[in-house]
Amino acid sequence: MDRKSAQKYATTSNYVLRKIADESILVPVSPQLKNRDCLFVLNATGFAIYSGIKSGLSAAEVEKMMLDSFEDASPETISTDIETLLSQMLEIEAIHVCPGN
């Protein structure tokens, strides 16, 4: 990961995570969101990243957790997936950068 690896993120109150059958879904609950009529289905990677952020892990800690959990994936793939998903979650306001980062 790049310079953002030590960065800490936090989930926002704009979404709730729901598990329905085998699906992990981010459900918007804030009426101010531009995507308030959309549901966001998370795959295993997305769920791991969102859960790691929700539990207070930094981007680097999420990456280590994923390297340990997804042994068949290359470190480059994991790093790229994390960067992409963090960017997407920031865009939809599901997470934010913690102050001081």
pLDDT at 6 exceeding the cut of 50: yes
Question: Does 50 have pLDDT greater than 80?
Answer: yes
Average pLDDT over residues 21-50: 90
Sheet strands side by side (includes 40-42): 15-20, 23-28, 40-42
Q: What is the pLDDT of residues 16-34, one digit of tens each?
A: 999 998 899 999 999 888 8
pLDDT tens digits, residue range 57-99?
999 999 999 999 888 999 999 999 999 999 999 999 999 999 8
Count of alpha carbons within 13 Å of 4, Cβ hemisphere only? 15
26: three-class secondary structure by DSSP: strand
- What is 50-74 written as a DSSP string? HHHHHTT-BHHHHHHHHHHH-TTS-
Please check the confidence at residue 1 and state whether its pLDDT lies above 90.
no
